[in-house]
Structure 1
Amino acid sequence: MLSKLRSQIVFVLVCAMCFLFVSCQNTPKGTESAATELTTTVTDTKAQDAKPELKGKIVAWVHHNDAEAALYKEYADSFKKINPNVEIDFQTIPYDSYWDKLNVALESKNGPDIFRIPANVLGEYHSRKQILPIPDDLYTGESFEAAYSPNIVELLRMPDGKFYGMPSSVMPDVLIINNKMFSDIGLNPQTDAPKTWSEFRDIAKRLTVRDDKGNLKIAGASIMTSPYQYYWTFPIQNCPIGVADAATRKPAFANDDGYNAWKFLTDLILVDKVDSPEFKGVIQNGTAAMVITEYVVFADLKNTAPDIEFSIHLPPYPDGKKPSASYTSWAFTVSAESKSVDVAWRFIDFMDSEENQKVAALKAVDLPSRMNVLEDPELSKDANLNVALEALKIAKPYNAFGWDDVWYIEQAAFESIVLNGTSVKAAVDEASQKLDALYAKKFTGN
């Protein structure tokens, strides 16, 4: 995506700003670091203010993603050009080994200065005193809240009132439609996309195709390939406080709202039969007509399914309720054992600057969380990106107190209902009890 041109312009911008940096040693707090987006001007004013002589070495860990890895290398290189006395060892680690490596390193007090974890598990690391808050000389609580979208940063505030991370990998769920399959049943994807859950179910049933023997040929909705997208999204949309209570640190979905969300999902398989455990329709290969999934999946369809025309839409929401979506996000944070805390936070802030958020959004690597970028008219010119930004505005965070460990419990509940015939209430109640025990162990040690 104009990568060669962007690289050349980035180099010019970096050099120009390095010159400005050297010539403005007494620049007051509020001046900014290098811009990395060719179409924007520098408006964010945090990354390099008031610290003209940063020195030190930092180590940063993230789980590996090809697109992100390339972007983080650009960030590190740009930051080091501005701060020649800073050394950055940025490591991307395979996801399968990331958690074990990170947690062992932190327990042995030999972890990285910077690491990235899901925003909804920050509390677990905070309770173990393994992370540090954003320093007041970088952001006060008030200035941080003013800079970022409130619904995105709410998970970053710990019980002491301080913020312990900066957003990364912000991804709302969206609805993706195979346009031809929609047209084949007489629907226009731009005007007839389902808005509510009941519309989603009815259209998914119409889109489902079977052969003469009744075997699925096209799933009306791809569910079984990645069901967690649904059993994370639907309860978040339907439960008033999400799937966990921040005050009590207990599960919050074993109730009528949660049961109804789980029943709507599993009925799509068991009653409406728009997908099946055996078939597992996939949107990318043309065996499914719709899917609710993360925006990044749509952004990558030009690579995974270049010959199929898709459209992107806001996800359907519960009947009788306001439009809503869900999102997941990660956060960069700083280890309590870091010896270069100031450098670490300022590098995180550099990565998360307005300019770099805009670059990541235009590259479809990440979505912005800063208010000024969310409202940037240039981003809304991209119709697909604009849908994702609109989804983000109405999205509620996935707020369970865990990640893979929570997934195992909820996946077991889903399979118990769909494969074993367990009632929704029994399966959800059991999952809630297991999560209650998991959360208690995390936060109280019992």
Structure 2
Amino acid sequence: MNLDYWMWDSAQLPGYQKCVDAFEEKHPDINVRITQYGFDDYWSKLTASFVAEAGPDVFTNHVAKYPEFVRRDVLLPLKSLEATSGFDPNEFQDGLAELWQGPDGKQYGMPKDFDTVGLFYNKEMLRKAGMTTEDLEGLTWNPRNGGTFEDVLAHLTIDQNGVRGDEPGFDPNNVKVYGLASAGSGGYDGQTQWSWLAGATGWRFNDEKTWGSEYNYDDPRFQRTIKWYFSLVDKGYLPPFEKVGAEPNASQQLASGKAAIAADGSWMIRIYEAMKGMDLGIAKVPSGPVGHPVSMYNGLADSISAQTEHPEDAARLVDFLGSDQCQVIIGKEGVVFPARPAGTKAAIETFESQGIDPSAFTELVDNKHTMLFPVTDHGATVDSIMQPVMDEIYIGTRDPSSLTKVNKRINNLFE
């Protein structure tokens, strides 16, 4: 009997093949076929497969997508099947399981990993700037003057004449090295762009109850954050929109020497670590007005398709993928941080054994200095509204105060 399992991350494929091999040893009557697509193609192919009733039995799911799948009745709740009936949310890192509970209280995903945001940087650029790694420890930020974080960005920025951003004569219109790499405007979630800044003011996307329907883009704390963040363009510390385009790549900007610091997710550790000729460092995001750093806390999960012809066997696979055995296998691969504490511990040990300090990502979770990815109905519509708006703010043709009217338009979707 065959089961189809779909995923999008090629870097995790080897680890999950090991998990599947171990699963098949326990269940020799089941053959699992893994299919991996690129992220963008993944969702279009997945949606098309559901429409054609030819989708996978089990697939990697995202919190931004699964509410729509639940509404379409294409997911099976874990506890409706014998193999996953004993699901216990307390066996995973705090809060991850709750992300996958629908408004009906049912569990629609088996947590597989989590991610937070940190600051990747080039140690050589720090040395040339007369700085040390200690200078990036304990950074502070506020939307009024940017705190010590803006001071660092200014000093690491260099114009075409070799003048730094905090020196007299700096030309913000002719920059050679930007203090902060651009990952775009951030759309509706700003995961690696500005969520960690806005969250550090105490702001949250919504009430953080599952599928909360009230967005808070009208909150002055959010609008002040956005105003400061994109003011970095005029100051010369962040690349302008026209230089990076609609799909900027922060890691490439760091690798090419066009930026000194890149705010990015923990899932990118291997990408940055593999950059040739760069002495990589990772620092925590700065503490904000709340008195400590804050990062978006997101977690993927494995879900079971309601179209599967083998629901109990699919549940057995999902149960195994969420077990200590599989998650320790994934942790030892050193690509992501698995959702179970044993898997997280294995990942930390792997990274540390290879000279990579992952504490910038994991301590946020240990200290509960996190905010949740927005999980709501109408996620695709909210994104379609916010993306062009945030792009215009980045370009400089729209003021952040206009987000008050935009927020009302978004919240009208839930009436």
TM range (shorter): 0.7 to 0.9
For residues 160-212 of structure 1, give each alpha carbon's deviation from its aligned partner in whole angstroms, at most 9, with x where no partner exists: 22211012352211111211222223322135335222222121011110023
- Closer, same or farther: CA 317–116 of 1 in aligned 2, 3 Å: same
Match of 1:220 among 179, 191, 200: 179
> One-letter code of the match for 2:305?
S
Report the Cα offset of residue 283 of structure 1.
Answer: 0.9
Normalised by the length of structure 2, the TM-score is 0.81
- Closer, same or farther: CA 154–175 of 1 in aligned 2, 3 Å: same
- Closer, same or farther: CA 88–260 of 1 in aligned 2, 3 Å: same
| Residue pairs, 1:153-192, within 5 angstroms | 153-192=97-136
Paired with 2:134 and 2:328, the residues of 1 have a C-alpha distance of: 27
| Residue pairs, 1:321-400, within 5 angstroms | 321-374=291-344, 378=349, 381-382=352-353, 383-393=356-366, 394-400=369-375
**Matched position secondary structure for 1:96:** helix
For residues 234-279 of structure 1, give each alpha carbon's deviation from its aligned partner in whole angstroms, at most 9, with x where no partner exists: 3344454435654642322321122122122112223464433344
Paired with 2:205 and 2:350, the residues of 1 have a C-alpha distance of: 29
For residues 267-303 of structure 1, give each alpha carbon's deviation from its aligned partner in whole angstroms, at most 9, with x where no partner exists: 2223464433344471121111111101232322232
Q: Is the 8 A contact 1:224 1:277 kept in 2?
A: no
Q: Is the 8 A contact 1:217 1:287 kept in 2?
A: yes
Paired with 2:281 and 2:383, the residues of 1 have a C-alpha distance of: 29
Q: Is the 8 A contact 2:10 2:36 kept in 1?
A: no
Residue in structure 2 matched with residue 41 of structure 1 by the alignment: none
Residue in structure 2 matched with residue 269 of structure 1 by the alignment: 233
Residue in structure 1 matched with residue 198 of structure 2 by the alignment: 235
| Residue pairs, 1:431-442, within 5 angstroms | 431-433=406-408, 435-436=410-411, 440=414
**Matched position secondary structure for 2:179:** coil
Residue in structure 1 matched with residue 94 of structure 2 by the alignment: 150
Match of 2:154 among 176, 193, 205: 205
Residue in structure 2 matched with residue 99 of structure 1 by the alignment: 43
Report the Cα offset of residue 101 of structure 1.
Answer: 2.1
Residue in structure 2 matched with residue 413 of structure 1 by the alignment: 389
Paired with 1:117 and 1:105, the residues of 2 have a C-alpha distance of: 14
> One-letter code of the match for 1:218?
V
Residue in structure 2 matched with residue 110 of structure 1 by the alignment: 54
> One-letter code of the match for 2:4?
V
| Residue pairs, 1:237-256, within 5 angstroms | 237-243=200-206, 246=209, 248-256=212-220
Paired with 1:409 and 1:231, the residues of 2 have a C-alpha distance of: 18
90-99 or 417-426, which moves further after superposition? Answer: 90-99
Report the Cα offset of residue 342 of structure 1.
Answer: 1.8
Paired with 1:208 and 1:407, the residues of 2 have a C-alpha distance of: 32
Unaligned runs of 5+ in 1: 1-55, 441-445
**Matched position secondary structure for 2:31:** strand
Q: Is the 8 A contact 2:120 2:262 kept in 1?
A: yes
Q: Is the 8 A contact 1:147 1:372 kept in 2?
A: no
> One-letter code of the match for 1:334?
I
Residue in structure 2 matched with residue 283 of structure 1 by the alignment: 254
Q: Is the 8 A contact 1:115 1:332 kept in 2?
A: yes
Normalised by the length of structure 1, the TM-score is 0.76
> One-letter code of the match for 1:101?
K
Paired with 1:320 and 1:146, the residues of 2 have a C-alpha distance of: 28
> One-letter code of the match for 1:425?
S
Paired with 1:362 and 1:75, the residues of 2 have a C-alpha distance of: 12
Q: Does 1:259 align with 2:259?
A: no
- Closer, same or farther: CA 166–355 of 1 in aligned 2, 3 Å: same
Match of 2:34 among 70, 77, 90: 90
Match of 2:264 among 282, 285, 293: 293
For residues 94-138 of structure 1, give each alpha carbon's deviation from its aligned partner in whole angstroms, at most 9, with x where no partner exists: 333322221232234332211222124322222222211112744
Q: Does 1:424 align with 2:383?
A: no
Q: Is the 8 A contact 2:199 2:294 kept in 1?
A: no
> One-letter code of the match for 2:401?
K
Bigger Cα Rg: 1
Paired with 2:108 and 2:3, the residues of 1 have a C-alpha distance of: 18
**Matched position secondary structure for 1:384:** coil
Residue in structure 2 matched with residue 62 of structure 1 by the alignment: 7
- Closer, same or farther: CA 343–122 of 1 in aligned 2, 3 Å: same
What is the CA RMSD across the aligned residues, in angstroms? 2.9
> One-letter code of the match for 2:329?
V
- Closer, same or farther: CA 410–278 of 1 in aligned 2, 3 Å: same
Identity rate of aligned residues, in percent?
A: 19
> One-letter code of the match for 1:390?
E
Q: Is the 8 A contact 1:224 1:275 kept in 2?
A: no
**Matched position secondary structure for 1:322:** coil
> One-letter code of the match for 2:388?
A
- Closer, same or farther: CA 411–237 of 1 in aligned 2, 3 Å: farther
Paired with 1:126 and 1:76, the residues of 2 have a C-alpha distance of: 26
217-226 or 152-161, which moves further after superposition? Answer: 217-226
Residue in structure 2 matched with residue 32 of structure 1 by the alignment: none
Report the Cα offset of residue 423 of structure 1.
Answer: 0.9
> One-letter code of the match for 2:159?
R
- Closer, same or farther: CA 178–404 of 1 in aligned 2, 3 Å: farther
Residue in structure 1 matched with residue 167 of structure 2 by the alignment: none
Higher relative contact order (CA 8 A, sep 6+): 2
Q: Is the 8 A contact 1:243 1:253 kept in 2?
A: no
Unaligned runs of 5+ in 2: 142-146, 162-169, 245-249
| Residue pairs, 1:9-48, within 5 angstroms | none
Report the Cα offset of residue 404 of structure 1.
Answer: 6.3
